[in-house]
């Protein structure tokens, strides 16, 4: 477990799962830099957040069995790369995290008596009544088995939000703000953060944000409750991710290895689509 004082409040009572955190490491660091990481590096990164070597090896084994990672040995070292079958999944999540779509332009109303419940959950569809479902219109392709109508935004948007249970999502965003806003304030005041701690903080930020974002139907603003924390959480994620990236990427380039050497310092997501103008934090070399 890390002794870095900035990280202790982030980890306090955080229900961190080894498999999820390793997916975050690959999605945020490894996949944009060639898809391969030495197992020793993965064990070291996970140790910072209290995930033991045995838990790392068990989680990696499960990810291999699930077709999300693939392993290979070079000499005495083991390396794990993203499995080709998982590329579409990782690309979809990366697009949502780093290149978020525009706000919903309206609603999709679907009559889908043959749509399976797991598809309804995966697509975050709300149930209006019986087999009539609803979703915010982000330009997505509706299920083929559904008869779909398009509707504009209107005065009943807030009532339509009752088709989703937003309370757990709002609590998730509020938790992210409570944990990470003090770190942003400290960095903005010039507090130094070591490169290895910056990387761990960024990974924790992505992991916690992703866990809520992937369950969020992303309703239009007119449908959200007055106390909705999502907008503030989205903005905090964008600002803090960029504040942490310079020192985090310094640590990546100096310490994390793929099969051909150290990983590149920058990647395709080093400058995400939501990049604002920010002053980077001080770096403890």
Q: What is the pLDDT of residues 4-21, one digit of tens each?
A: 678 999 999 998 999 999
**Contact between 37 and 257 (Cβ < 8 Å):** yes
Please report the pLDDT score of residue 277 as a whole number: 36
Top mean pLDDT of 97-106, 183-192, 210-219 is at 210-219
Same domain, 170 and 227: yes
Q: Which of 102-111, 117-126, 137-146, 177-186 has the lowest mean pLDDT?
A: 137-146
**Region 182-200: what's the mean pLDDT?**
92
Decide if 257 is inside a domain: no
Over its C-alpha atoms, the chain yields an Rg (Å, rounded) of 20
Same domain, 184 and 234: yes
Q: What is the pLDDT of residues 203-235, one digit of tens each?
A: 999 999 999 999 999 999 999 999 999 999 999
Decide if 27 is inside a domain: no
Same domain, 179 and 204: yes
Decide if 266 is inside a domain: no
Q: What is the pLDDT of residues 49-100, one digit of tens each?
A: 999 999 999 999 999 999 999 999 998 999 999 999 999 999 999 988 988 7
The sheet with strand 132-137 has its strands ordered as 126-129, 132-137, 106-111, 147-152
Decide if 195 is inside a domain: yes
For 148, the domain range is: 106-152
Q: What is the token pair recorded at 70? A: 């693939």
* Residue 190 or residue 216, greater confidence: 216
Decide if 114 is inside a domain: yes
Q: Give the chain's domain count.
A: 2
Same domain, 174 and 228: yes
Same domain, 123 and 171: no
Same domain, 189 and 117: no
Residue 15 to residues 103, 113, 136, 174, 245, Cα–Cα distance (Å):
30, 37, 30, 15, 24
Same domain, 242 and 169: yes
Same domain, 142 and 194: no
């Amino acid at each position: 477990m890390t002794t870095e004082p900035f990280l202790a409040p982030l980890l306090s009572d955080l229900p961190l799962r080894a498999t999820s955190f390793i997916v975050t490491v690959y999605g945020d660091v490894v996949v944009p830099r060639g898809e391969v990481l030495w197992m020793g590096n993965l064990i070291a990164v996970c140790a910072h957040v209290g995930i033991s070597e045995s838990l790392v090896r068990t989680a990696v084994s499960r990810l291999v069995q699930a077709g999300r990672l693939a392993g290979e040995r070079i000499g005495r070292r083991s390396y794990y790369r993203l499995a080709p079958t998982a590329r579409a999944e990782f690309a979809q999540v990366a697009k949502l995290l780093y290149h978020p779509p525009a706000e919903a332009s309206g609603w999709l109303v679907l009559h889908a008596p043959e749509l399976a419940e797991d598809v309804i959950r995966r697509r975050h569809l709300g149930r209006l009544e019986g087999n009539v479902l609803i979703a915010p219109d982000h330009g997505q392709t509706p299920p083929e088995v559904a008869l779909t109508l398009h509707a504009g935004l209107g005065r009943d948007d807030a009532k339509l939000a009752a088709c989703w249970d937003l309370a757990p999502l709002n609590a998730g965003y509020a938790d992210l703000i409570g944990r990470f806003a003090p770190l942003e304030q400290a960095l903005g005041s010039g507090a130094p953060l070591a490169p290895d701690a910056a990387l761990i903080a960024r990974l924790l930020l992505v992991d916690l944000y992703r866990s809520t974002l992937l369950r969020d139907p992303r309703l239009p603003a007119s449908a959200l409750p007055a106390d909705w924390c999502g907008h503030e959480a989205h903005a905090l994620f964008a600002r803090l991710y960029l504040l942490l990236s310079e020192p985090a990427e310094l640590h990546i380039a100096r310490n994390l290895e793929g099969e051909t050497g150290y990983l590149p310092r920058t990647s395709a997501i080093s400058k995400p689509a939501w990049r604002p103008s920010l002053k980077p934090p001080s770096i403890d070399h």
